[in-house]
Amino acid sequence: MISAPSGDGRPPAPDASLPPRPLPVEEPWTAERAVETYRALFRDAPFTIVSNREPWLARRRPDGGMEYVRPAGGLTAALDPVMRAMGGTWIAWGPPAAVSATGADGDALRFRVPPESPAYEVRRVPLSDVEVRNYYHGYANESLWPLCHSILEHVRFRERFWRAYVDVNRRFAEAVLDEAPDPRTLVWIQDYHLALVPELVRARRPDARLAHFWHIPWPSWDLFRVSPNHRELLRGLLANDLLGFHLESFCDNFLRCCEQDLEVLIDWRRRAVVHEGHVTMLRALPISIDADSFHELAGRPDTAERIAELRRRYGLEGRLVGVGADRLDYSKGILERLDALRFLFRRHPELVGRFTFVQIGSPSRVEIAAYAELQQNVEAAVARLNDALATPDWKPVVYVPRGLGQEDLAAFYRMADLAIVSSLQDGMNLVAKEFVAAQVERPGVLCLSEFAGAAEELEHAITVNPFYTEGFAEDLHRALTMPLEEREERMRAMQAILQRGNVYRWIGDVFTAAREALDLGRRRARPRAAAGTVAPTTASSVGGGTATGGGPA
């Protein structure tokens, strides 16, 4: 029996006059506090970010001039105010082919943002179409992405992918050397597109300060070794002072790979590794979102109006609603989710006509065959489910095959009685956190894959196993029938976690960890662990401490 919120068994329409329930009170971190943390730790040392994607998009206006637009949400939105206050340089791939073809300042190698009061510089690394195909779609997204998500069926290695990856990483490294001549500069590299940049920079500037955050999982050694370039990747990353992952288990996987592949000294307690005399500190630093902004957006009266409109448009009035919002990526478990929904309706026919699941699927990496295929498979699975079960005025699944604006996304999150995040593997998953932040009244339930990094922090979610369809379906049923009191209790606990650990706290934690890593490297007594002379896990001294050796504590 569904425990529906209102007397007539239907969820009430959102009430625009209700003030949104405030997030539990605790002084949240802000961009200013992250900047103060940097200043306290690094004084006036310059700051540089290196990422594949540009933080601002260059677009040509109809009058022929250029305009620079910041994408809403995501990491770039959180880092933008930090960069504005610190005034550094952001190095990224650009200009996009469409803009460069038009010439003028669209193919400028650098520009300053924000346009109205320039505060920091974007330095672009232009790539040809062939390079984009082989480095970005190829090595980054057909080799590394599926490998790191342990999905071997989609892994493809090609010589030309690797060659382009090396070349492009070299160009990024050159840009770092040009743009950050001051050795005190903290260079913060983002993600799996740029694994070789640290080594290439360090070779030319041994005293560089390098931090790197890897946003996706790191696989176990038995999978990682299938890469023909496994040693080069590890060597590239071991030139960092700090290497951050979302989870401790990813750090430990990385250390085990080093242990198997290279002559290294490992201090498992500190998660530090010495390779060719250089110390790299690993740290689990789970990313987060700007929870207050999301809560505020979801709680706006016009969001309530938007909800009413979306319910009308998609036939959701008076129904229980579930939501999923993903890039169309095979790692997100969208097909497994649709399977579980099929089981749910079969086992609980009382839900027919009463519950609708909305799947928002923004097309992603469509140039890659596996992604184009997934898009078709999702459409086909939705059509099968709807053909089998739909009634004249109801559909089990509403599929929105495109990305939505933040406002619509927040409205769907707020309206939903249930959200499904069913990743087969995921570094963190920000959708899970956004859904939690967007609950402002009569909270919904988060069904969260145990294989998403977010499950470690959001332990008050209902955890699901996307590989076990029947169990998954029963978990969905449990979520849909959960009493309001329990939903509120779980949501309060998760919102408190997000408010304490928002994205600005994450940035501050990265700065603090980078400082510790640099200090650890400096303190290290032994100048050089010569290759071949030290057994990989022999107990030894890293930064003056005692290494435990032999495995994680």
Nearer to ligand GDG, 90 or 213 (CB): 213
Residues that bind ligand GDG (CB under 6 A): 73-74, 215-216, 287, 325, 327, 360, 362, 403-406, 409, 426-431, 434
- In the complex with ligand GDG, the residue whose CB is nearer, 363 or 549, is 363
Q: 424 vs 529, which CB is nearer to ligand GDG?
A: 424
Smallest gap from residue 429 Cβ to ligand GDG (A):
4
Q: How far is CA 346 from CA 274, 340, 389, 396, 462, in A?
A: 56, 10, 9, 12, 21
- Whole-number minimum distance, CB 186 to ligand GDG, in Å? 19
DSSP string, 372-433: HHHHHHHHHHHHHHHHHH-BTTB-SEEEE-S---HHHHHHHHHH-SEEEE--SSBS--HHHH
CB of 503 to ligand GDG, least distance (A): 10
- What is d(CA 484, CA 272) in angstroms, rounded to the nearest whole number? 46
* Cβ neighbours of residue 261 closer than 8 Å, sequence gap 6 or more: 225, 230, 231, 234
- Residue 172 neighbours by CB under 8 Å, 6+ apart: 50, 91, 125, 194, 197
Indicate the residue among 52 and 540 with the shorter CB distance to ligand GDG.
Answer: 52
Q: Which residue's CB is nearer to ligand GDG, number 220 or number 260?
A: 220
Measured from the CB atom, is 90 or 268 closer to ligand GDG? 90
Task: Give min distance, CB of 74 to ligand GDG, in A.
Answer: 5
CA dist list (Å): 164 to 177, 194, 263: 20, 12, 27
Task: Provide, rounded to whole angstroms, the least separation between the CB of residue 200 and ligand GDG.
Answer: 24
Task: Quote the crossing angle between the two packed helices 503-523 and 74-86, to the nearest 10°.
Answer: 60
Residue 421 Cβ, how far from ligand GDG at the closest point, in Å?
A: 8
Minimum distance from residue 72 beta carbon to ligand GDG (Å): 6
CA angle 19, 23, 26 (to 5 degrees): 135
- How far apart are CB 222 and ligand GDG at their closest, in Å? 22
Indicate the residue among 243 and 520 with the shorter CB distance to ligand GDG.
Answer: 243
Q: In angstroms, what CA-CA distances link 22 with 18, 299, 435?
A: 12, 9, 15
Task: Quote the Cα angle for 126-128-132, to 5°.
Answer: 95
Token readout for 447 is 């069904």
Q: How far is residue 366's CA from residue 97's CA, in Å, rounded to a whole number?
A: 17
Q: Which is nearer to ligand GDG, 71 or 301 (CB)?
A: 71
Helix (H/G/I), strand (E/B), else coil: 85:
helix
